[in-house]
C-alpha cells in the first residue's frame, strides 16, 4: 500500500475473497492482455513449441544445456542459466503475482516471465479441493514452461497453521498455543505434516514460520508468535526443519520462510500509520536490545536451520542511538537486510517482500522500487502490480540506478532454491500424498498438539479433570463454533465465525466424543435450565481476525462476504460483554464452573468474575480438532501446557513481559498447573 492509503482502504488487495475479488482487482489495477503485456514489458524473445506429456503440458526440453544437468552442482547450474538470461528474464524471476491477477489468463505468467505466483488469504480455486489446487498450480507451471528458458515458477501460500486456505486441510493450533506446549519436536512434526499437505496440492513454498517475538499482546498478530521470550522463540525456529527436511526435492517438504524480519512484534502502541494502532508500527530501540530480542530467532533460523527464504516486516525501526524520529521501513533497510542478514548472518537464500511491502517506502514509485531492490530484497510480492514493477525495475537498471550486479545476486539466490526444490526435474505437482490431506493420522497429531497447548491457569480443589459420567452444562459462543476456534488465516485472510466452516470437531463435539457417558446440556447463551447440572463448562473468548484488524483499538473488519456488511466486534484485551454475561449467568447458577478462553492472546478476567470461576483454561486457538481440549478436561491426557505469553491483570499493564521491572501479572510467563490422567 502507499503511504497515503489507510490499511482499511487496501483490504481488497490484502485478501482475495472468491465472491468479490474479480471486480475489485479490475477496479484497482486493470490487467492488460497477454499481447499488451508483451509489448509493454519489452521485446519478447518468442515462444517455442515444446514436447508435451500425456496431459498436454509442456515438458522441459533438455538438449544438453548445462543448467538442466542434475549431476552438476547447483552453483554451476545457476551460473550457466544466469549467463543465458536476458535482463527482462531476470527481472521476471524477481517478480511474484497473485493468482487472482493471472487465473483468467495464465498466459500472463508466460508473458511476464514470472518467477512466482502466490495465493493470498482466501484466494483459492473452484472447487476448493486438493485436486483443484494441484491442477491450478500445474496450469500456472505449464505457462511458465512456455518461456524461452523454461524456468519453473515456485508457488507460495500462507500455511501458517496448516494449509489453511484449503478446505479439508488439517488446521493446527496457532503458534501462541504451540509455544505453550514447550515442545519444539512436536512442532517439527506438525510442520512436516503441513509441508506434506501443502506440497501434495501444488505449492512448494510456505510463508512460515513466524519467528516474531510478540512483546505487546494488543498486537493483532500476537497469536502468530510462539512466545514473548526470544530464547523460547529461538527454540521454535526449528519449525523450519519440519518444513524443509533434509532434501527439498522430497514430495513432503516445502521451502520455508522465516518472518517477519525483524522487530514486528516489538513495535510501540500508537506508532502505526492509518487505522492500525500497533501492527506495521515502529520498533523504537537500541541496536543491542534489538539484537537480543528481535534478531535472535533469525540467527538460529539462518545459521542452525538454513531457512530458504526470509520475509521483511511491514514495520520500521528507529534507533535510539541517533535520536528518536527518523524510523526506517524494514523493506528499505539495507543495514539490516544486506549488511546484517546476508552479511553477518550469512543468509544464502532469498528475501521475499511482504504483500506490496515496498509501497510503504517513502517517495514515488520508481524510488520505492529502486530503494527496495538496493536494500537487498530479491523477490517482490506485487500481487496486482507485477507488470508495473517489472517495467519500472527495467527502467531503473537501464538508467544505472540499480546495478546489474544487484539483479544477478537476486536471481542467483532465487534460481538456487528452484534447483534445490528439484523443479527443473519435476516441475509439476507430485500427488503422492494427495489422499493424506486431512487424514486421520494428521488429525490425530493436531489433537495431540491441542491437548498439549492447553494451559490450566486455575484449578480450585482439583476440579479438573472432570468425571466422564458428570452432568455437564456447556455454554458460551465459542463452545460450538469451528470458525472461532480456528481463528484468522483460515479459508480467508481474517477468518470468520461459523460452526460448519471447516471439517473437524468443535469443543462441544469433543466433549461428547471423549465423555460419551456424560449427560451434556448445551446452551450457547446459558438460557437453558441449569438445574441438576454437576459442573458448567463455559467457552468464551475472541472471534477471528488477522494482522492490523486484530489490533486493540484498531479498525473493525466488515468486508468478508460472510459478515453481511456488519462490522466485527471491536478488539479488546477485556472479555466482550456477551462473554462476561454468560459467565455471570452460568457460573452464578451452577456450583462448579470451568471457563475456557478461546483466543489469540490473553484476555483480562475481572477479579470479581475470577472469584466465581473454579477452573480457568487458556485454550488459545486450537484449530480443527476440538476433541484435544476435551482430552484434558476429562483426564484422557494431563494438562502440561505453560504460558507462552504473560497473562495481565488489566489491559493497562501492557506491554508486560517476563523480566520487566515491577513484573506483577495475574499469571506469569511459564505458569501452568498440571493434572494427572484419569483411570
The CATH number of whichever domain residue 603 belongs to comes to 3.40.50.1700
C-alpha closest to that of 370 among 91, 88, 36:
91
Question: Dihedral sign, CA of 523, 526, 527, 530?
Answer: positive
CB-based contacts of 77, cutoff 8 Å, min separation 6: 66, 67, 68, 69, 415, 419, 424
pLDDT for 389: 98
Residues 468 and 604 in one domain: yes
- Give residue 562's pLDDT: 82
Q: What average pLDDT score do residues 35-59 get? A: 69
Tell me: the pLDDT tens digits for 424-480?
999 999 999 999 999 999 999 999 999 999 999 999 999 999 999 999 999 999 999
Question: Which residues form the domain of 533?
Answer: 443-653
Asked if residue 497 is part of any domain, the answer here is: yes
385-405 pLDDT, tens digit per residue, is 999 999 999 999 999 999 999
pLDDT attached to residue 42: 43
Same domain, 618 and 494: yes
Residues 376 and 460 in one domain: no
**Residue 77 located in a structural domain:** no
Within a domain: residue 669? no
199 shares its domain with 314? yes
Show the CA angle centred on residue 400, arms to residues 395 and 403, nearest 5°.
100
Say whether both 359 and 461 belong to one domain: no
Q: Within this chain, do residues 331 and 183 fall inside the same structural domain, yes or no?
A: yes
Q: Which pLDDT does position 47 carry in this prediction?
A: 56
Asked if pLDDT for residue 517 goes beyond 60, the answer is yes
**Out of 20-24, 147-151, 275-279, which region has the weakest mean confidence (pLDDT)?**
20-24
Statement: residue 240 has pLDDT above 90: yes
Reading across the β-sheet that carries 471-475, which strands appear in turn?
Answer: 455-459, 615-618, 593-598, 535-541, 471-475, 519-523
Given the residues 183, 188, 229, 354, select the one marked as catalytic.
354
Residue 395 annotated among the catalytic residues of the structure: no
Decide if 479 is inside a domain: yes
The proportion of the chain whose per-residue pLDDT surpasses 70, expressed as a percent, equals 93
pLDDT number for residue 199: 98
Whether residue 620 is found in the same domain as residue 518 = yes
Per-residue pLDDT reduced to its tens digit, 284-335: 999 999 999 999 999 999 999 999 999 999 999 999 999 999 999 999 999 9
pLDDT value at 7 more than 80: no
Same domain, 316 and 233: yes
Q: Is residue 56 part of a domain?
A: no
List the CATH number of the domain containing 233.
3.20.20.300
> Does residue 599 lie in a domain region?
yes
Distance of CA 668 to the CA centre of its chain: 27
Kindly state whether residues 180 and 307 are assigned to the same domain: yes
Range 470-489 burial, b when 16+ CB lie within 10 A, else e: bebbbbbbbbbbbbbbbbbb
Helix crossing, 404-420 with 365-375: angle to 10°?
A: 60
- Within this chain, do residues 542 and 614 fall inside the same structural domain, yes or no? yes
One domain for residues 489 and 618 = yes
Domain boundary among 363, 386, 421: 421
User: At residue 46, does pLDDT exceed 80?
Assistant: no
Mean pLDDT for 149-177 is 98
Q: What is the pLDDT of residue 561?
A: 83
d(CA 4, CA 30): 20
Among 375, 390, 421, where does a domain finish? 421
For residue 631, tell me if it sits in a domain. Answer: yes
- What tens digit of pLDDT does each residue of 184-225 get? 999 999 999 999 999 999 999 999 999 999 999 999 999 999
Number of domains forming the structure of the chain: 2
Q: What is the pLDDT of the chain when averaged over all its residues?
A: 93
Residue bearing cell 516486516: 313
Is the pTM of the predicted complex or chain greater than 0.75? yes
Across 154-161, average pLDDT: 98
Q: Which pLDDT value is given to residue 563?
A: 87
Q: How far apart are the C-alpha atoms of 532 and 461, rounded to whole Å?
A: 21
| pLDDT higher at 34 or 531 | 531
Catalytic residue chosen out of the listed positions 191, 547, 560, 579: 547
The least confident of 42-56, 102-116, 647-661 is 42-56
Q: Are 318 and 391 members of one domain? A: yes
**Strand 328-329 to 316-319 pairing:** antiparallel
Q: Is the pLDDT of residue 35 over 80?
A: no
The verdict on residue 359 lying in a domain is yes
Amino acid at each position: 500500500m502507499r503511504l497515503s492509503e489507510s490499511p482499511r482502504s487496501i483490504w481488497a488487495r490484502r485478501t482475495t475473497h472468491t465472491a468479490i475479488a474479480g471486480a475489485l482487482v479490475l477496479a484497482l489495477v486493470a490487467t492488460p492482455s497477454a499481447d499488451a503485456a508483451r509489448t509493454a514489458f519489452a521485446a519478447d524473445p518468442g515462444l517455442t513449441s515444446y514436447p508435451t506429456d500425456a496431459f498436454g503440458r509442456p515438458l522441459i526440453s533438455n538438449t544438453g544445456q548445462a543448467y538442466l544437468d542434475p549431476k552438476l552442482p547447483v552453483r554451476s547450474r545457476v551460473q550457466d542459466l544466469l549467463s543465458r538470461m536476458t535482463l527482462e528474464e531476470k527481472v521476471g524471476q524477481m517478480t511474484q503475482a497473485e493468482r487472482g491477477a493471472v487465473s483468467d489468463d495464465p498466459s500472463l505468467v508466460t508473458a511476464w516471465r514470472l518467477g512466482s505466483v502466490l495465493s493470498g488469504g482466501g484466494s483459492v480455486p473452484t472447487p476448493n479441493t486438493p485436486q483443484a489446487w494441484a491442477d491450478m498450480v500445474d496450469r500456472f507451471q505449464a505457462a511458465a514452461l512456455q518461456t524461452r528458458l523454461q524456468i519453473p515458477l515456485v508457488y507460495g501460500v500462507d500455511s501458517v497453521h496448516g494449509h489453511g486456505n484449503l478446505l479439508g486441510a488439517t488446521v493446527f493450533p496457532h503458534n501462541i498455543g504451540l509455544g505453550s506446549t514447550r515442545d519444539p519436536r512436536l512442532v517439527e512434526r506438525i510442520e512436516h505434516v503441513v509441508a506434506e499437505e501443502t506440497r501434495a496440492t501444488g505449492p512448494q513454498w510456505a510463508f512460515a514460520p513466524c519467528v516474531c517475538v510478540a512483546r505487546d499482546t494488543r498486537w493483532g498478530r500476537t497469536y502468530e508468535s510462539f512466545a514473548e521470550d526470544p530464547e523460547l522463540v529461538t527454540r521454535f525456529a526449528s519449525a523450519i526443519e519440519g518444513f524443509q527436511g533434509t532434501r527439498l526435492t522430497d514430495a513432503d517438504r516445502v521451502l520455508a520462510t522465516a518472518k517477519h524480519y525483524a522487530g514486528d512484534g516489538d513495535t510501540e502502541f500508537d506508532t502505526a500509520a492509518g487505522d492500525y494502532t500497533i501492527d506495521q508500527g515502529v520498533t523504537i530501540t537500541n541496536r543491542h536490545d534489538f539484537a537480543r530480542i528481535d534478531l535472535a530467532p533469525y540467527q538460529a533460523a539462518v545459521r542452525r536451520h538454513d531457512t530458504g527464504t526470509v520475509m521483511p516486516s511491514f514495520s520500521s525501526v528507529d534507533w535510539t542511538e541517533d535520536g528518536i524520529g527518523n524510523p526506517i521501513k524494514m523493506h528499505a533497510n539495507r543495514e539490516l537486510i544486506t549488511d546484517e542478514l546476508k552479511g553477518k548472518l550469512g543468509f544464502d537464500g532469498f528475501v521475499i517482500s511482504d504483500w506490496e511491502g515496498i509501497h510503504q517506502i517513502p517517495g514515488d514509485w520508481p524510488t520505492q522500487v529502486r530503494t527496495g531492490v538496493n536494500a537487498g530484497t530479491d523477490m517482490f510480492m506485487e500481487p496486482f502490480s507485477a507488470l508495473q514493477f517489472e517495467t519500472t525495475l527495467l527502467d531503473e537498471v537501464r538508467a544505472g540506478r540499480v546495478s546489474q550486479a544487484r539483479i544477478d545476486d537476486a536471481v542467483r539466490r532465487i534460481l538456487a532454491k528452484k534447483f534445490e526444490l528439484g523443479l527443473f526435474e519435476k516441475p509439476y505437482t507430485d500427488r503422492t500424498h494427495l489422499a493424506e490431506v486431512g487424514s486421520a493420522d494428521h488429525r490425530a497429531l493436531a489433537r495431540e498438539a491441542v491437548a498439549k497447548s492447553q494451559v490450566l491457569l486455575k484449578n480450585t480443589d482439583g476440579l479438573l479433570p472432570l468425571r466422564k459420567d458428570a452432568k455437564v452444562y456447556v455454554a458460551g459462543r465459542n463452545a460450538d463454533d469451528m470458525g472461532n476456534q480456528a481463528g484468522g488465516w483460515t479459508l480467508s485472510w481474517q477468518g470468520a465465525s461459523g460452526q460448519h466452516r471447516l471439517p473437524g470437531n468443535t469443543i462441544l463435539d469433543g466433549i461428547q466424543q471423549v465423555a460419551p457417558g456424560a449427560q451434556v446440556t448445551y446452551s450457547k447463551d446459558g438460557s437453558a435450565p441449569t438445574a441438576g447440572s454437576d459442573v458448567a463448562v463455559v467457552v468464551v473468548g475472541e472471534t477471528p481476525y488477522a494482522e492490523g484488524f486484530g489490533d486493540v483499538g484498531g479498525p473493525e473488519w466488515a468486508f468478508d462476504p460472510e459478515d453481511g456488511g456488519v462490522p466485527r466486534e471491536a478488539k479488546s484485551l477485556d472479555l466482550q460483554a456477551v462473554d462476561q454475561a454468560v459467565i455471570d449467568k452460568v457460573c452464578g447458577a451452577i456450583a462448579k464452573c470451568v471457563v475456557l478462553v478461546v483466543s489469540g492472546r490473553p484476555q483480562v478476567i475481572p477479579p470479581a468474575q475470577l472469584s466465581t470461576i473454579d477452573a480457568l483454561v487458556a485454550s488459545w486457538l486450537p484449530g480443527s480438532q476440538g476433541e484435544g481440549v476435551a482430552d484434558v478436561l476429562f483426564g484422557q491426557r494431563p494438562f502440561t501446557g505453560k504460558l507462552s505469553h504473560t497473562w495481565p491483570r488489566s489491559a493497562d499493564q501492557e506491554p508486560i513481559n517476563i523480566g520487566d521491572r515491577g513484573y506483577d501479572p495475574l499469571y506469569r510467563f511459564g505458569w501452568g498447573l498440571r493434572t494427572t490422567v484419569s483411570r
